[in-house]
Amino acid sequence: MALNKEEMSEKVLAIAETLLNEGGMDNLKARTIAEQAGISVGSVYNLFADLDEVHRAVNMRLLDRLGVAGLTAMADLERQGVSDVEHRILAMAAAYVRFVEAHPGSWPALLAFNRRRATRPGPDSYQARLDELFDIVAGVLKAGNFELDDDRRALAARALWSSVHGIVTSGYVAKSDSRQADEIWQQIELLVGVFVKGLERGGAFAHARTKPI
Amino acid sequence: MALNKEEMSEKVLAIAETLLNEGGMDNLKARTIAEQAGISVGSVYNLFADLDEVHRAVNMRLLDRLGVAGLTAMADLERQGVSDVEHRILAMAAAYVRFVEAHPGSWPALLAFNRRRATRPGPDSYQARLDELFDIVAGVLKAGNFELDDDRRALAARALWSSVHGIVTSGYVAKSDSRQADEIWQQIELLVGVFVKGLERGGAFAHARTKPI
């Protein structure tokens, strides 16, 4: 039975995601998608204006999945009655580590795509999805009752996110994959532990400093 | 007057670095290097075994330059009599921000190269150079007299470095370049301020936690 337009779009996106995950942006080709979907190249372009549109749609799926991973991690801790801020931030970080590991090609391709192409405004944009993720972290920080107004809390959430992202992807190379994973986790644990202690001490309201750049 | 072998190697590396900076790894081609250096492709391969060797040598130059930038920033503060840890870490971070801005193509290419190819052991390796950079940060932390043994201090230095790196390159996209630069600096300032406050509180010796991944 032939797939309808929506089903075929889903099929194309699933194929595109696998291609991106296996070989990054260079691996995303309309001909390959068409062959694997059993349709013509023209049919791919009936569903999506161009390959950028395909990539954009894959990226939205990835961000949705990451959002679900974060919310699931928080829901798991809530069921377990864990409300400790450090513990909850570490669980978010762990969810991100697992997500990056599960998407070795497609996640770097999303980041590269975002650097090269202008993002689109609007509620469906990349940035709007990312803001939803930052909101989860900000929500955890809010529960900590630190001396943070909404703006500083949102900034702290973005800084924490970027920091964990940097640790996961920094390219610090240990001598084996398992030592690499240990190093990443030790850095995350130290960062989050020290950061939360600093927030408890009101560190986010440190005196403003002249930007030295 | 013809260049000797060392001078020609320098010329090739300068050309290669410009190519990498302008177009990343895909832009590094032996033919282009040869044309711009006014030599044959074969001559390029007499100087370097392959393009990976060229790229490796460019990367070492970049790391050396980054090391000099870090040491210079520290020396400037010492001349000014600034010994405050937060201030000094922020100066290191600012040096890194400037370095990344000055190398928009060649620095991402170094990071990508490092992810794709096995690093080489030995004192000249990428990792050894990076360790020297971490040592500068660890030296600043040591001056803070926090409760940190050598291992935790080195880990804290790597975590700080990775975090700042993540903030600089996270791809958080503001609506304009200047807002982007402001956002990056605000995140760095908050991160470093909170982190140093946390260290003052002994946060790096927070109880060990079971890795939740």
The per-residue pLDDT for range B14-47, each reduced to its tens digit, is 999 999 999 999 999 999 999 999 999 999 999 9
Q: What is the mean pLDDT of residues A22-29?
A: 93
Please check the confidence at residue B123 and state whether its pLDDT lies above 60: no
Is A126's CB within 8 Å of B200's CB? Answer: no
Higher pLDDT, B145 or B91: B91
Residue A154's SS3 state is helix
**Does the CB of B25 have a partner CB in chain A at under 8 Å?**
no
Within A50-176, residue ranges assigned H as helices are 51-79, 85-102, 106-116, 126-143, 150-169
Cβ distance of A198 and B202 shorter than 8 Å: no
Q: Which residue in chain A has the smallest CA separation from B152? A: A190
**Could you give the count of Cα atoms lying within 13 Å of B2 in the half-sphere of its Cβ?**
3
Q: How far is CA B141 from CA A159, A197, B84, B88, B192, in A?
A: 20, 17, 10, 9, 12
Tell whether B2 lies on the interface with A, counting CB pairs under 8 A: no
Q: Name the residue of chain B whose CA is nearest to A182's CA.
A: B211
**B135-151 confidence digits (pLDDT tens):** 999 999 999 989 899 99
Q: Interhelix angle for A150-169 vs B177-200, to 10°?
A: 90
* CA–CA distance, B76 with B91 (Å, rounded to integer): 10
Between CA A122 and CA A80 the distance in angstroms is: 36
Write the pLDDT tens digit of every residue in B44-74. 999 999 999 999 999 999 999 999 999 999 9
pLDDT band at B205 (very low <50, low <70, confident <90, very high): low
Read off the amino acid at residue B19.
L
pLDDT category of residue B209 using cuts at 50, 70 and 90: very low
B114 touches chain A (CB under 8 A): yes
- Judging contacts by C-beta atoms under 8 Å, the chain B residues touching residue A152 are 190
User: Is B96 within 8 Å of chain A by CB?
Assistant: no
Task: Determine the pLDDT at residue A213.
Answer: 45
- pLDDT for the residue numbered B125: 73
Contact call for B198 and A194, based on CB within 8 A: yes
Give percent of chain B above pLDDT 90.
69
Q: What is the pTM of this model?
A: 0.88
Name the A residues in 32-61 with CB < 8 Å from any B CB.
Answer: none
pLDDT at A106 over 80: yes
Average pLDDT over residues B181-204: 91
Q: What are phi and psi of B135, to 5 degrees?
A: -60, -35
Averaged pLDDT score across all residues of chain A: 88
Chain A: residue whose CA lies nearest to B188: A159
Q: Which amino acid does the sequence have at B98?
A: R
Residue in the block written with tokens 């532990």: A193
Residues near A212 by beta carbon (within 8 Å), at least 6 away in sequence: B90, B91, B94
Residue A89, pLDDT above cutoff 50: yes
Average pLDDT over residues A43-59: 95
A165 touches chain B (CB under 8 A): yes
Give the per-residue pLDDT at A61: 94
Contacts of B188 in chain A (CB under 8 A): 159
Probe site for chain A from B155, B170, B199 (most A CB atoms < 10 A): B170
Q: With bands split at pLDDT 50, 70 and 90, how would you rate the model's confidence at A128?
A: confident
Q: Which residue has better confidence, A139 or B124?
A: A139
Considering chain B, what is the average pLDDT of its residues? 88
Q: Is B89 on the interface with A (CB under 8 A)?
A: no
